[in-house]
Amino acid sequence: MKILVSIISLIAFLLVALPAPLHKFGFLDLGTAMTGFRFGLFVGIAALVLLAIQVIFKRKTVSLASAAIAVIFSAIAIALPLGMMNNAKSVPPIHDISTDLVNPPEFVAIVPLRADASNPVEYAGAETAEQQRTAYPDLQTLTYSQSKPELIEAAKQTMENLGWELVNTDADKGIIEATDTTTWFGFKDDVVVRVTDNGGERLVDIRSKSRIGRSDMGKNAARIHGFIDELNSVIEPS
């Protein structure tokens, strides 16, 4: 019984730990990876149930070390999928976030890179904009006094600091495009920053869009928040 519990808890742990990197490096398609990830939740629960049965009916076969390891593996297998599901429920099911919802910055050089993406390059539309206004009301156009060239260079430096892959810079149009690859699953999300003149000030808008998935689980909004924080630190170093 002890061996069975240990094996099942290990399987549960591997089912949630391996799919993401295996998908990231091309060994699993996304559907299979997500199926394995979700299945790990149920296997983790099964491992804890078996451990409880062992403790109740075969207490003499239980060792503290093996039980602790089984609990840790099972807890991870249960907590990670539940955490993702709870996070998905706490944010709107959208994947295209912009600080300008009326005239979102448009992708240019990134368009061919999204040829095989399930999410089209065009802005997701009015329904998405309304959901964003409710969920992320603080994401709005930024205003700076620095010159346009200064802000373009600062935006490029910010992207470099954040580890994004710079795709295109068009100084005349005030456009900087980049791709960010998520750490765990290796998802490709694209970002475009637009700098425009507005009299004596400059307006900066950021748009972040996932290539796949209906919901980004808040990742694009978090990415824009991170960009803004880093950009401000680049412009006004402490």
151 lies in the same domain as 55: no
Paired strand residues for 170:
175
pLDDT digits (tens, 9 = 90+) for 128-162: 999 999 999 999 999 999 999 999 999 999 999 99
Give the end of a domain, one of 90, 105, 131.
Answer: 90
CATH number of the domain encompassing residue 112: 3.30.530.50
Answer for the pair 195, 203: CB distance below 8 angstroms, yes or no: yes
Residue-number span of the structural domain to which 42 is assigned: 2-90
110 lies in the same domain as 77: no
pLDDT digits (tens, 9 = 90+) for 178-228: 999 998 899 999 999 999 999 899 999 999 999 999 999 999 999 999 999
In angstroms, rounded to a whole number, what is the distance separating the alpha carbons of residues 94 and 172?
Answer: 31
Report the candidate in 38, 48, 21, 46 with the shortest Cα–Cα distance to residue 83. 38
Answer for the pair 193, 117: CB distance below 8 angstroms, yes or no: no
101 lies in the same domain as 65: no
Q: Could you tell me the CA-to-CA distances from 189 to 20, 140, 177, 212, 233 in Å, in that order? A: 16, 20, 11, 8, 23
pLDDT digits (tens, 9 = 90+) for 13-28: 999 999 999 998 889 8
